Amino acid sequence: MRESLPQIGITQGRAPLAPADQPLAAYLTAVRAAGGEPVLLPASLDRDEFDSLSAGMAGLLFAGGGDLDPRLYGDVPGDRLDDVDPKRDERELALARQAAAHQRPFLAICRGLQVVNVALGGSLIQDLARDLPGSLRHTTAKGAEPTLHPVEIDPSSHLGTLLGSRSLTANSYHHQAARRLGAGLLPVAHTSDGVVEALELSGHPFGMAVQWHPERMLSEPAMLTLFRAFVAAASTEAGPRG
């Protein structure tokens, strides 16, 4: 009898993408390549359905997307916000807090890093170009080749151990970043301008967040290693978690 694969819940907005859409397809491909079974968690589900579906997941992937409402971290909304989705914010913040409290394996990507940070009491830089003068370019124009920049990694971190490297060249699609860090989060990678590029949750079996999009870099062996480590951690989970 074929052994079942660990189910990985992938968060989505209120208007979920079709599986063939390129951004979502990259997540599905990465999870499958790492030995997991992807399951979509759209914010359009009612609360009970969303909670029931997410509770059965072995691991949680907090995907990229639009900006969080700054009022959620005590800030005033600026004029450069993009695609704010209050229902998605509500669903994902609650799910991130639950994953942290119950030590459920998670991998958070781009917006996902920001969700985890805010969920645990952190705050965000609303717009790097405006609020951090002299910073590197971190955004990528729609349809353009991805912006690339070096990222320095703490070699003593879980991420550094997994990747076996002190640095990498990462893609960059974000205009926001972590400012004040949430409770228990450790900065384990950054760019030369000081922007946090990865976080780990202290004392968690696999609580990792990266600001780049590793699912779009699977030709790099280290990025597939990251997904495999996440799915392997999730494979130890069994049954619903409250």
Q: What 3-state DSSP class applies to 220?
A: coil
Average pLDDT in the chain: 92
pLDDT at 27: 96
Catalytic residue among 92, 174, 213, 237: 213
pLDDT at 242: 46
The helix/strand count (H/E) of the chain reads as: 7, 11
pLDDT tens, position by position, 63-78: 999 999 999 999 999 8
Count of all residues that appear for the chain in the document: 242
Work out whether strand 207-210 and strand 106-109 pair parallel, antiparallel, or are unpaired: parallel
pLDDT at 24: 87
Q: Active-site residue 213, yes or no?
A: yes
pLDDT band, very low/low/confident/very high, at 239 (cuts 50, 70, 90): very low
pTM: 0.94
Residue whose structure tokens are 């879980």: 158
Q: Which residues contact 33 (CB under 8 A, 6 or more apart)?
A: 218, 224, 227
Question: 26 in the Ramachandran plot: left (φ > 0), alpha (ψ -120 to 50) or beta?
Answer: alpha
The stretch 234-241 carries a mean pLDDT of: 66
The stretch 141-155 carries a mean pLDDT of: 92
Cα–Cα distance for residue pair 167/155, rounded to 1 Å: 9
Residue 1 has pLDDT above 90, yes or no: no
pLDDT at 92: 97
pLDDT at 108: 98
The stretch 31-35 carries a mean pLDDT of: 98
| Range 7-234: architecture per CATH | 3-Layer(aba) Sandwich (3.40)
pLDDT tens, position by position, 50-62: 999 999 999 999 9
Q: Active-site residue 110, yes or no?
A: yes
The stretch 89-96 carries a mean pLDDT of: 97
Catalytic residue among 92, 197, 200, 215: 215
Domain boundaries, given as residue ranges, for the chain = 7-234
Residue 17 has pLDDT above 50, yes or no: yes
Catalytic residue among 110, 158, 175, 200: 110
Percent of the chain with pLDDT over 90: 81
pLDDT tens, position by position, 112-147: 999 999 999 999 999 999 998 989 889 888 888 999
Residue 172 has pLDDT above 80, yes or no: yes
